[in-house]
Amino acid sequence: MTPPSKPRRGFGKKIALLCAAGSLTCSILTLGATLWFWFIGGQPVITGSLGATTFFFFSAAIVLYEMSRPQPPLSSADEHS
């Protein structure tokens, strides 16, 4: 019986991981812009839009990261019988 191999990321999953990192970076940048506009007393429409954009980028980063996770290999039917 061979030991189970460690699951690896394929090409598409690596792209999803890079996009997740980019989305997380954008969420950090928009969070900084949101806080900056909030503290200087900027227009509420801009501050609210930046807050919504921060939430979007952060949630997209979570989804993309979960998509990039390697799945464990399926066990064969012979092991269960």
Which residues does the chain have with pLDDT short of 50?
A: none
Q: What's residue 8's pLDDT?
A: 81
Residue 67: per-residue pLDDT: 93
Q: What is the pTM of this model?
A: 0.78
What residue spans define the domains of the chain?
17-69
Q: What is the pLDDT of residue 74?
A: 74
Helix (H, G, I), strand (E, B) or coil at 45: helix
Query: What DSSP assignment string belongs to 19-75?
Result: HHHHHHHHHHHHHHHHHHHHHTT--HHHHHHHHHHHHHHHHHHHHHHHHHSPPPPPP
Question: What is the rounded end-to-end Cα distance, in angstroms, of the chain?
Answer: 15
